[in-house]
Structure 1
């Protein structure tokens, strides 16, 4: 059998297809359930493949393939070389129909290879890097930065490489060496790199597919780009110029300066209207639904004096493990222990509040203030995590959130939420529930305040205020109060947590 741009056919039909891609498939390939993937792999690496045009590459799109009989053609979305192909924005999941174009990694006239990054888009849930499915030249960009792109609509036009006349004889592709095979595998895989590294590569006309990454899972680092550039040109990128330090201007001599007659200021600014998009658009939907819920509020103060001492003792140990230890891991673990006693607070209700679902996992969300807006990633399965496990995951989420690289998995599936408004300022707040959750807590800043101990003596106490909100349709005030008291006891006496840890 032979693989052509139209599908699978017999040799007699394949030989009649002039100036087309035709690949011979050995019988063992056709017997495999995943024979399409094997076709491409055999064409790239196997010496038992007969090719009419051995330098051509066969492209496959996203549609699912169905093979029923050797005499039938197999429909594909293969791209002919030398044609201008409309590269459309594919479905990125989660029911997302539109995204915002945040950054272009290519421009018109640039040459791209398969898996090279084309652009970065942002939905109301996460940022996604779009990669090329073709080798060719970018002919047209359909959107500018911050434009709204729609799933299924053209993103760019790519002119695939033109065909070259060659003999139509069937030839046998020689077997490749181990080194060549390794190089081809590197070229064909998905390139892992941050937007900053991709921008550095683009500015120096370097294809990421030609660079071997030294990071985790083959991720390309900035040092890999610099080393590649040094090997190619023998030059090292010049350092950024330092700003020249200017001496302070001389002080003016004492003299009487006449007071000028001031004119009333004339304001020349203009109002600006722009669409709501990205994370802000998601917040519009979520908060509009949330404020339809009858909220119940409860506030209290917690003495963290003993917890402050414990954290100071553990900080050097955490630092030795490469972990930044804040108070938040203790807050989250105390919440999880409290939810074990009050599972109704770790539940969700349907849209009409007819059914309540008790969640087995404690996926506790953390509200974060970022340049992109408010986001709420969550730490999964806090009920089985240690304090160090929680701290490690928080470090990861905060690092990705600061650069807008959180995944959809990080941002979905929450069952309870804490908001640390105190890191910015403030003592009390009125947090808004994130539906379909039924409760949320907000923490103020930690302040040193004089308090009386049991002996009536004044001491310096480390006080934090907490504000809870609950869905009053399913949560009553007594339940919220008891949960808060239990959470408070864990933090004021950290050793108590050991009694309930599992």
Structure 2
């Protein structure tokens, strides 16, 4: 028994000595043995040395762990699940490049789904070895975005795919992104415009906030470069031709006409992705729902006067008609909750929404987006105006979040801001109603008092008094499976009363 324990401890000591020697050997031999991990538990055994004096010695064996991923490893940083059932995104901008060092929570790239823009941040400290996509490419959820060579001391998740790299092997670096500089402040649209104009963003001085480069900066730089090139070009002296002879003047001049060019213009194919792809899905689904449209004209004269008075009292107040309309819709929805509801895909259940999250259709550089203002029933008109300004500013730069774009219960399309008086809006499922606001026009309308006081007799002296009024046309579309025309007409009449009597709107807010 005692001899067996002695032999066991000698074997443990030999293994530990072998492990220490392997650490001191050259890297070529280390790379062969590195995949194997030797781990020994610390043991302390009592072995008698002499049976005469029964003296004892203690032998300990420490734990050793050899792993190539600990010393030099490359992690494939994959695109995580963004949520909302999103399976693929479009890479809009890279914030890093091959060869740069990143730390945890540093920005790596910005991607755009069919609903919002999302900034991807790093989970590791290390060096970027490879970018898998160019700007504009489509990346799928679960696929790698970049390869990161980890620094020593990083903890690697169990499910992370690791590839071992020996110190002697040269790392093949592939550069996919050819952006001028990641430190420049410019939107993807500006970078795309600079690429089309063949302008380096490093040569352009930005005039926006924090030195951000705007489209106007690119146009100014292009015009200045063209004018400087024209000035630097020497003027060619044109020889003075002698006066024509009488014989030459009498000859009939021949006009040389060039035949029109018959070279065909090449077509351009572009894949449908991002916001446009989401529009295809949403509009196709909406077209399967039977809906109707109801239109009416609202007299906005009193609201126009009220807005002018507010602007005169304080020049700092910048408010449009839309916040008044949004607040009026919220007050009218209190009596017609069926219009502030959702219907499931099979139209078997109606969910009456407690919050009035009113969406506003916006024309952005990425396409049609419908962010919504949350809890309008609890906001004042000025608070609605501030929230609307915030959403518009985010929409211009493509920074609307998923929270801003989801959860809507009722929608409006202010098509009159661009032009047009009549429109047929398309439902934004699972919502059941949407309105299209036409532009406010000045129109001559007869006085209603003349119609009530007019007699049955008529003569040539009879006339009709008229007034110039500000008229806005509103068109409503509703899901005819759960809403009838009478309900939509009554809701429109209540909204019309509130807008034509804005003081009532202010009292009830």
Fold match by TM threshold 0.5 = yes
Counterpart contact for 1:306–1:494, Cα < 8 Å: yes
Matched, 1:358 2:346: no
CA distance in 2, matches of 1:317, 1:81: 70
SS in 2 for 1:495: helix
Distance, in Å, in 2 between the alignment partners of 1:114 and 1:380 is: 33
**Is 271-280 or 454-463 further displaced after alignment?**
454-463
Following the alignment from structure 1 to structure 2, what is the Cα–Cα distance between the partners of residues 364 and 481? 19
Q: 1:196 Cα shift?
A: 3.7
1:497 aligned partner: 505
User: Equivalent of 1:381, from 364, 371, 375?
Assistant: 375
Q: CA distance change for structure 1 residues 195 and 381 in 2, over 3 Å: closer, same or farther?
A: farther
The unaligned stretches of length 5 or more in structure 1 are 1-12, 20-78, 164-192, 205-220, 225-238, 250-255
1:100 maps to what in 2? 90
CA distance in 1, matches of 2:253, 2:389: 57
- Structure 1 runs of 4+ aligned residues shifted over 6 Å read 16-19, 197-200, 239-242
Greater Rg by CA? 2
CA distances 1:70-108 after superposition (whole Å, capped 9, x unpaired): xxxxxxxxx845322111111122221211111112222
CA contact (8 A) 1:123 1:279 kept: yes
- Distance in 1 (CA, whole Å) between partners of 2:286 and 2:338 is 18
Matches within 5 A, 1:254-273: 260-273=256-269
1:122 aligns with 2:118: no
Assess if the C-alpha contact under 8 Å between 2:187 and 2:397 holds in 1: no
Change (3 A) 1:270 1:242: closer
> For 1:39-50, what aligned pairs fall within 5 Å after superposition?
none
Q: Which moved more, 1:121-130 or 1:457-466?
A: 457-466
Instruction: Provide the C-alpha distance between the structure 1 equivalents of 2:108 and 2:500, rounded to a whole number of angstroms.
Output: 52
Per mean C-alpha deviation after superposition, the further-off stretch among 113-122 and 452-461 is 452-461
Q: 1:257 to 1:411 in 2, by over 3 A?
A: farther
> Which secondary structure state, in structure 2, belongs to the residue aligned with residue 341 of structure 1?
coil
**Aligned-partner Cα distance in 2 for 1:126–1:132:** 20
* Whole-angstrom distance in 1 between the partners of 2:223 and 2:265: 35
Q: What are the superposed Cα offsets for residues 200-221 of structure 1, whole Å, 9 maximum, x if unpaired?
A: 9xx99xxxxxxxxxxxxxxxx7
1:276 equivalent in structure 2: 272
* 2:143 matches 1:153: yes
Counterpart in 2 of 1:222?
210
Report the Cα offset of residue 113 of structure 1.
Answer: 2.1
What are structure 2's unaligned runs of at least 5 residues?
1-15, 24-68, 154-182, 192-200, 203-208, 213-219, 236-251, 451-464
**Aligned equivalents of 1:318, 1:273: Cα separation in 2:** 52
Instruction: Give me the whole-angstrom Cα distance separating, in 1, the residues matched to 2:90 and 2:268.
Output: 19
The residue number in structure 1 matching 2:453 is none
Q: CA deviation at 1:463?
A: 1.2
Counterpart among 473, 480, 487 of residue 495 in structure 2: 487
Q: 1:317 to 1:480 in 2, by over 3 A?
A: same
Partner SS state of residue 334, structure 2 = helix
Secondary structure in 1 aligned to 2:92? strand
Distance 1:336 1:157, change over 3 A: same
> Match for residue 287 of structure 2?
291
Q: Decide whether the 8 Å contact of 2:336 with 2:491 is kept in 1.
A: yes
Change (3 A) 1:353 1:96: same
Whether 1:347 and 2:347 are equivalent positions in the alignment is no
Cα deviation, residue 362, structure 1: 0.5
| 1:211-250 equivalence runs, <5 A | 222=210, 243=224, 244=227
Q: Is the contact made by 1:301 and 1:465 (CA closer than 8 Å) also made in structure 2?
A: yes
The answer to whether residue 303 in structure 2 is matched with residue 312 in structure 1 is no
Cα distance in structure 1, aligned partners of 2:255 and 2:418: 42
Q: Please, what TM-score do these two structures have when normalized by structure 2? A: 0.65
Q: 2:321 aligns with which of 320, 323, 327?
A: 327
CA 1:271–1:386 in structure 2 vs 1: closer, same or farther (change >3 Å)? same
CA deviation map 1:126-180 (0-9, x unaligned): 10111122222211110111111111111011122368xxxxxxxxxxxxxxxxx
Matched, 1:372 2:362: no
Task: Report which stretch shifted further, 308-317 or 342-351.
Answer: 308-317
TM-score computed with the length of structure 1 as normaliser: 0.66
Matching of residue 473 in structure 1 with residue 481 in structure 2:
yes
Which residue pairs with 1:460 in the alignment? 468
- Counterpart in the other structure of 2:72: 82
Please identify, of 412-421 and 87-96, the stretch whose mean Cα deviation from structure 2 is larger: 87-96
Q: Is the 8 A contact 1:318 1:325 kept in 2?
A: no
